[in-house]
Structure 1
């Protein structure tokens, strides 16, 4: 059975969404002082996580779109 590229791309996009969500949650933990890091770092981590979860999957989908 051959590997379907669409299946692999789907899983890559879903993984990007989950990883971005986890990074954003980590940033929230820093912001709310549950993890001992500077609050400013928490805001940066949170924004990067949001970009990973919301923007990166659509960029990947656009790049992998069939002609």
Structure 2
């Protein structure tokens, strides 16, 4: 059973969009950490970078695994 092409395109766009949002979050976190004067704000920036990296690594892979087509007989 194959997925229609328009569904596959939307799924691909979702994966790419998640990666782009993750990269934007990591860059934003680096800017916050670099410009911060107090250490609590630096910690928030670093945590934002780390969480964005987890999103980049885990979410697209789990969605791709969930959406994977079953093997052909």
Q: Give TM-score, length-normalised by structure 1.
A: 0.85
* Bigger proportion of residues as helix: 2
Which residues of structure 2 form unaligned runs of 5+? none
- Pair 45,15 (structure 1): closer, same or farther in 2 beyond 3 Å: same
Provide, for residues 17-59 of structure 1, a one-character-per-residue CA deviation record: whole Å limited to 9, x for no partner.
000000000110011016x870110011001111112221111
List 4+ stretches of structure 1 deviating above 6 A: none
* CA apart distance, 1:3: 6.4
Matched residue, 2:6? 4
Q: Give TM-score, length-normalised by structure 2.
A: 0.78
Is 1:38 aligned to 2:41, yes or no?
Answer: yes
